[in-house]
């Protein structure tokens, strides 16, 4: 079974440009999460989808960030326009929609974003 995949693995862009990160969750996982780690800081939650619906966007830093999950499969996270402080590693995670159970999250390898 394929794990969570993220593309690209690394992106270098200039301030003011736009970047789109993609996450493909494990097949059948309705929960999809985005997290990020800014240099030297803790991993922080950004948002959570259940299928195509945003359930919690409380961690999104500002309106330059737009996440979508059309069709409830893969998700994209767009940063427009990118700022220097957006540099960091963006992780995606998925989990099945269970009322009980482990509910462990399966994380992707991350996308390292560098804004120059």
Q: Does 107 bind other proteins (CB under 8 A)?
A: yes
Q: Does 50 bind other proteins (CB under 8 A)?
A: yes
Residue of 12, 14, 18, 55 interacting with other proteins (CB under 8 A): 55
* Cα 30 to Cα 81, 101, 113, distances in angstroms: 29, 15, 26
* Cα 72 to Cα 27, 38, 49, 77, 103, distances in angstroms: 11, 27, 8, 14, 19
Residue of 29, 91, 94, 115 interacting with other proteins (CB under 8 A): 91
DSSP codes, 41-88: S-EEEEEEEETTEEEE-TT--STTEEEE-GGGS-EEEEESS--GGG-E
Distance CA 90, CA 79 (A): 11
Residue of 21, 24, 48, 86 interacting with other proteins (CB under 8 A): 48
Residue of 77, 88, 108, 115 interacting with other proteins (CB under 8 A): 108
Piece of the chain touching other proteins by CB under 8 A; list 12-20, 60-68, 77-85, 104-112: 104-112
Distance CA 87, CA 26 (A): 26
Residue of 2, 28, 42, 62 interacting with other proteins (CB under 8 A): 42
- Residues of this chain that interact with other proteins (CB under 8 A) are 4, 31, 33, 35, 42-45, 48, 50, 55-56, 91, 93, 95, 97-110
């Amino acid at each position: 079974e394929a794990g969570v995949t993220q593309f690209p693995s690394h992106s270098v862009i200039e301030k003011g440009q736009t970047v789109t990160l993609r996450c493909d969750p494990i097949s059948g996982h309705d929960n999809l999460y985005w997290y990020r780690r800014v240099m030297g800081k803790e991993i922080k939650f950004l948002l959570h989808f259940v299928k195509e619906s945003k359930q919690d966007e409380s961690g999104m830093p500002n309106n330059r960030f737009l996440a979508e999950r059309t069709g409830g499969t893969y998700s994209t996270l767009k940063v427009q326009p990118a700022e220097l402080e957006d540099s960091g590693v963006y992780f995606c995670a998925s989990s099945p929609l269970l009322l009980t159970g482990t509910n462990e999250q399966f994380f992707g390898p991350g996308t390292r974003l560098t804004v120059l």
